Amino acid sequence: MSTQLLVGISELTTNDPAYGALLGRIRDAAVVIDGDRIAWVGHADHAPAADERVDLGGRAVLPGWVDAHTHLVFSGDRSEEFEHRMAGHSYRAGGIHTTVRATTQASDNELRQCVRARRRVARSEGTTWMEIKTGYGLDTAQETRLARLAAEVTPDVTFLGAHVVPPGLEAPEYVSSVTGEMLAAVRPYARWIDVFCETGAFDPAQSRRVLEAGRAAGLGLRVHGNQLGQSGGVALAVELDAASVDHCNHLSADDVAALAASETVATLLPACDLSTREPFPPARELIDAGATIALASNANPGTSNTTSMAFCVATAVLQMRLTIEEAVWAATAGGARALRRGAEIGAIRPGLRADLHVIDAPSVSHFAYRPGMRLTCAVWEAGMRVDLADDSAVSADFTSP
Ligand code: NIG
């Protein structure tokens, strides 16, 4: 296996507390990659030799983004619904049915091309790991198909059959199907189970049934909670030790305290909050109370049609009052924590997967200081340098097959 020595790094964000809280930044740094792993990290003066030397010309390097919440397997467009919302109407869970219809009509190959194109665009912007949910199928054959297609591009597939109740069924009957034959069919492709615990989707008792069945089948737990109101999703997620509860827009003081005292990560989705005009989650309160937060894109056609983690980081800093350090950590190490993969990804430390994001800037502060600018100039995924020209060329395919 050949080794690569990366030098010319003005600022290396390691997320390793050994180099200082919170980001463990090293100035004038170097990194050695051995195969798909980080082999060495430190000051350039002390760097060992390697087979290949790459000079990054004084740029900043950080871990690849870990996007811990996406709904990447979908077809169709909901820009009309979006336009309606921007004219003053509120978001309702029912828009999901529009995407279910379009997704169900797309062939495997059409969906496969869409997912791969979206994945490649995200990678060209520095995302080296993604979780992907099902949830636009809502019956056994379709949910299984979506999970199978998602599993072609990530090991973090989440079964979200309990996204919304399909037309013609009642919630109790549908929950029985989700927790019965649907779960059994999707199980081989999934690592996680999720539920949309919200008015218009599933109440806490139904959500509990879904999560407990998933856990009994060996899946880890995630929850969509407290997006549109105080749904009880956060309390349930904490009680069941879910890895993550996502959205968290409407939190009581008890919710904040419960999250702070738990291992459950609060995954915040700022692009979705802008697109639904929901109030931002109380991110400062969560952090100040000691909760762990992650930032994710929530890429989906209804509430957040973007895979840009840089946009999420900039919004979290400029609108949600996170510091640069907190936002960058939340979008890298925080995402890894939300996927319970902190020992594998989300940091630049010997032994971890070599997922590196090189930006055309001297420091990560530029993500918020120059919002909306494309900063990514190189990406290494599992030790391999990604061909960015090839990846960004597929962006025209982002929306539909
Ligand atoms: O995370 N909240 C539930 N699911 C998605 C929205 C899906 C949709 O509207 O299509 C979300 O925002």
Nearest ligand 1 atom to the CA of 99 is: 10
Place of tokens 């983004």: 65
pLDDT value of residue 88: 94
Please give the class, per CATH, of domain 65-338.
Answer: alpha beta
pLDDT value of residue 93: 76
pLDDT value of residue 117: 96
Neighbours of 182 (CB within 10 A): 26
- Residue among 72, 78, 96, 274 whose CB has most ligand 1 atoms within 8 A, to mutate: 96
Mean pLDDT by 10 residues, the chain (401 residues): 95 97 97 98 98 98 99 97 95 90 98 97 98 98 98 98 97 98 98 97 98 98 97 98 98 98 98 97 98 98 98 98 98 99 98 98 98 97 92 50 42
pLDDT value of residue 396: 41
Place of tokens 């379709």: 142
From CA 77, how far away is CA 68, in angstroms rounded? 23
Residue 15 in contact with ligand 1 by CB distance below 6 A: no
* Residue 198, SS3 per DSSP: coil
Q: 37 forms bridges with which residues in the sheet? A: 34, 353
Q: Where are the domains of the chain?
A: 3-63+345-392, 65-338
- Within 135-198, where are the H helices? 140-151, 171-177, 183-186
**Taking the domain 3-63+345-392, which CATH number applies?**
2.30.40.10
196 C-alpha vs ligand 1 centroid, how far in Å? 8
How do strand 356-359 and strand 376-381 relate by DSSP bridges? Answer: antiparallel
| Residues written for the chain | 401
Q: In 3D, which of 209, 151, 224, 133 has the Cα closest to residue 178? A: 209
Place of tokens 């291992």: 263
Residue 224 in contact with ligand 1 by CB distance below 6 A: yes
- Tokens representing 40 are 């060495």
